[in-house]
Chains A and B, each alone.
Chain A
């Protein structure tokens, strides 16, 4: 069986998984809404129209308007976009820096491995909220700070997962064979180990993505994340919380959107894990984010 065929088979098997289907479809719908907002939203959210504020749902404003008279649907779309982007880049930071470190630590061992592990311990000592506080204190609050803070937290997560994954297969025969044929550790790490832990990384990414969206919301809520006039789901929650008793929908909609996106991403992640590699469940891939 060729590699391609094998992969198709996995996806077919995965698709049979109910939670994966729900999760994937749900995530894609929200991701699409977010992406569309780059080019088009039902209304322009940069123009404030104060006299239009607090409108209920209507044919022009499907979900009503907020305290600045901005269209809620458009706000949710743009807000979701920011939340997705923050989480995505933060995951990429973790993947791009953490994975190579973890792989090389596993294949080289020795002092390098020790250094990576110490570095991991060090970074773990800085939960996202603490890094965010420090970064914000220096550079002022912005979505970029949230990205960096969450990204820093993702580095040790991916380093740990990829090192663990690498250690579990490094004793396999084909790695030994590669070593015998004169491949160096670097080559082994990226050519032979990386493809084999790809599924592990995909699952972890989906988990970190959903955690990233929650973390962005938390950071924005305490004022360390996205800043107006940009918007994000967390910021929308923050800005509408105090209107909850008078205009509850302004706070409920972004809250539900966060819950829905995180839920769908987690369902997709669970499904992927079950479908790609049941053994992954043991790795305890779920983590807490700060």
Chain B
């Protein structure tokens, strides 16, 4: 187990390092001078150059890479050019929005998707099964940002129950903050819940023909009870795979939803930072995002190996 753990964590670190290098190099060829952007069209070349010097843009690339990556490793992400604030601080401000959003969406997705999947599997072949599976098909097909807009029109503009977007920070008003995440997390969660319901149902249908279910039935349980007691647990393996992927997706997927609900999340930060050529901020935010995605994958792998020890020898398929 220790060897397995070590291999996984080493792979995780390697992926991150290569990703960091890739991000750094790719963003270095970005057209557009950050200093010129900050000062605008009427600034003199001397002012622009003075600012470039201040920002350290005139140093050679390798020097900038190693000073950056060295800083990142000890938690110093540098100082944002445009906002004159430490990058890590800016990212933290956004993570307290993006991360809860992804978590809420995950919870909603699980709370909607799994019961529906289990229900449909138990009523397999019945009308309610077809109905739910058709709904799930449609759910998968709806673009989440479009669904988000419809939610806003209904619950904010028409009913006035929830804010159209924006975010009140947790310290200012915890419940207002919570409220502003409800619609976005539902918009994010719907397609994921639909996928989850389908996977859950398929997995359950698969195990329901397994021997132990028949044994349980022979012991006097109804088929439904047997599936609930024994099947669900065994069906968790494929579901877990999907959950891992979904969480990774949700972390990145919030970017689009943040746009619809003008939430101050990580995605919003990256968009603005790119348009303002605040490269150090872009790099920091991207590496954090990639860290989150990779870390999710790592955790999924480890959990998977915990549930199914056979996989420790063979790598994830």
Q: Which residue of A lies closest to B317 (CB)?
A: A164
- A121–B15 contact, CB under 8 A? yes
Q: Which residue of B lies closest to A279 (CB)?
A: B206
Q: Which residue of B lies closest to A254 (CB)?
A: B146
- B141–A210 contact, CB under 8 A? yes
CA distance A108 to B271 in the complex (A): 42
Which parts of B98-150 form the interface with A (CB within 8 Å)?
Answer: 137-138, 140-146, 149
Which parts of B188-243 form the interface with A (CB within 8 Å)?
Answer: 192, 195, 198-199, 202, 206, 238, 241-242
- B140–A262 contact, CB under 8 A? yes
- A259–B142 contact, CB under 8 A? yes
Interface membership of chain A positions 123-139, coded 1 if the CB is closer than 8 angstroms to chain B and 0 otherwise: 01111011001100110
Which of B15, B18, B142, B274 is A133 in contact with, Cβ under 8 Å?
A: B274
Q: Which of B26-34, B79-87, B161-169 faces chain A?
A: B26-34
Q: Which residue of A lies closest to B18 (CB)?
A: A122
CA distance A211 to B309 in the complex (A): 32
Which of B31, B248, B259 is A127 in contact with, Cβ under 8 Å?
A: B248
Which parts of A88-118 form the interface with B (CB within 8 Å)?
Answer: 113-114, 117-118
Size range of the chain B interface in the assembly: 35 or more
Whether a CB of chain A sits under 8 angstroms from the CB of B55 is no
Q: Which residue of A lies closest to B192 (CB)?
A: A288
- A125–B297 contact, CB under 8 A? yes
Q: Which residues of B contact A124 (CB under 8 A)?
A: 248, 293-294, 297
CA distance A218 to B145 in the complex (A): 7
Which of B18, B198, B282 is A137 in contact with, Cβ under 8 Å?
A: B282
Which of A118, A130, A164 is B290 in contact with, Cβ under 8 Å?
A: A130
CA distance A126 to B249 in the complex (A): 10
Whether a CB of chain B sits under 8 angstroms from the CB of A145 is no
Whether a CB of chain A sits under 8 angstroms from the CB of B35 is no
Whether a CB of chain B sits under 8 angstroms from the CB of A221 is yes
CA distance A221 to B145 in the complex (A): 8
Q: Which residues of B contact A50 (CB under 8 A)?
A: none
- A222–B198 contact, CB under 8 A? no
Q: Which residues of B contact A281 (CB under 8 A)?
A: 202, 206
- A258–B141 contact, CB under 8 A? yes
- B195–A259 contact, CB under 8 A? no
- B270–A288 contact, CB under 8 A? no
* A241 → chain B closest CB, angstroms: 6
CA distance A252 to B16 in the complex (A): 42
Q: Which residues of A contact B255 (CB under 8 A)?
A: 129, 133, 222
Interface membership of chain A positions 254-274, coded 1 if the CB is closer than 8 angstroms to chain B and 0 otherwise: 010011101100110000000
Q: Which residues of B contact A282 (CB under 8 A)?
A: 202, 206, 238
* A218 → chain B closest CB, angstroms: 5
CA distance A167 to B282 in the complex (A): 40
Q: Which residues of B contact A160 (CB under 8 A)?
A: 317
Q: Which residue of B lies closest to A157 (CB)?
A: B245
Decide if the interface of chain A is mainly helix, strand, loop or mixed.
Answer: helix
Q: Which residues of B contact A134 (CB under 8 A)?
A: 23, 26-27, 286
Which parts of B254-288 form the interface with A (CB within 8 Å)?
Answer: 255-256, 259, 267, 270-271, 274, 282, 286
* A147 → chain B closest CB, angstroms: 18
Whether a CB of chain A sits under 8 angstroms from the CB of B177 is no
Interface membership of chain A positions 211-223, coded 1 if the CB is closer than 8 angstroms to chain B and 0 otherwise: 0001001100110
Q: Which residues of B contact A121 (CB under 8 A)?
A: 11, 15, 294, 297
Which of A114, A167, A266, A284 is B242 in contact with, Cβ under 8 Å?
A: A284
- A258–B253 contact, CB under 8 A? no
Which parts of A184-217 form the interface with B (CB within 8 Å)?
Answer: 210, 214, 217
Q: Which residues of B contact A167 (CB under 8 A)?
A: 317
* A184 → chain B closest CB, angstroms: 23
Q: Which residues of B contact A117 (CB under 8 A)?
A: 315-316
The residue among B140, B242, B282 with the most chain A CB atoms within 10 A of its own CB is: B140
- B14–A130 contact, CB under 8 A? no
CA distance A267 to B255 in the complex (A): 28
- B149–A241 contact, CB under 8 A? yes
Q: Which residue of A lies closest to B282 (CB)?
A: A137
Whether a CB of chain B sits under 8 angstroms from the CB of A230 is no
Q: Contacts A130-B286, A288-B192 known; A118 to B143 CB distance under 8 Å? A: no
Q: Which residues of A contact B185 (CB under 8 A)?
A: none
Q: Which residues of B contact A217 (CB under 8 A)?
A: 143, 145-146
Q: Which residue of B lies closest to A248 (CB)?
A: B153
- A258–B143 contact, CB under 8 A? yes
Whether a CB of chain A sits under 8 angstroms from the CB of B246 is yes
- Which residues on B are within 8 Å of A, measured CB to CB? 11, 14-16, 18-19, 23, 26-27, 29-31, 137-138, 140-146, 149, 153, 192, 195, 198-199, 202, 206, 238, 241-242, 245-246, 248-249, 252-253, 255-256, 259, 267, 270-271, 274, 282, 286, 289-290, 293-294, 297, 315-317
9 contacts between A and B (CB under 8 A): A124-B294, A127-B253, A214-B143, A218-B256, A251-B149, A258-B143, A284-B199, A286-B198, A288-B248
